[in-house]
Amino acid sequence: MSADRSIYEAQAMEKDNLSKFVKDAARWPIFDRTVQVVKERNQDISPEILETMIDDAVREVRAECHPINGE
């Protein structure tokens, strides 16, 4: 039995699991391509600047999700 078939059978024990398995399998290539595009786009930006941009974005989202003093 091939490894792919073993994985398939393990994931597809129930019909709902099969549906989820297929959806997840379709999402990974899209996610992987998105990661590659972002890496290519940001290759000329220093790691320090990228980290600052990420920290700022995380801080902004947290402020929106968890406002202080009921704002």
pTM, two decimal places: 0.50
**Residue 45 carries which side chain, given as an amino acid letter?**
I
Instruction: Examine the pLDDT at 1 and tell me if it is beyond 70.
Output: no
What pLDDT sits at residue 7?
66
Helices (H), the chain: 3-11, 15-41, 47-65
Confidence of residue 25 (pLDDT cuts 50, 70, 90): confident
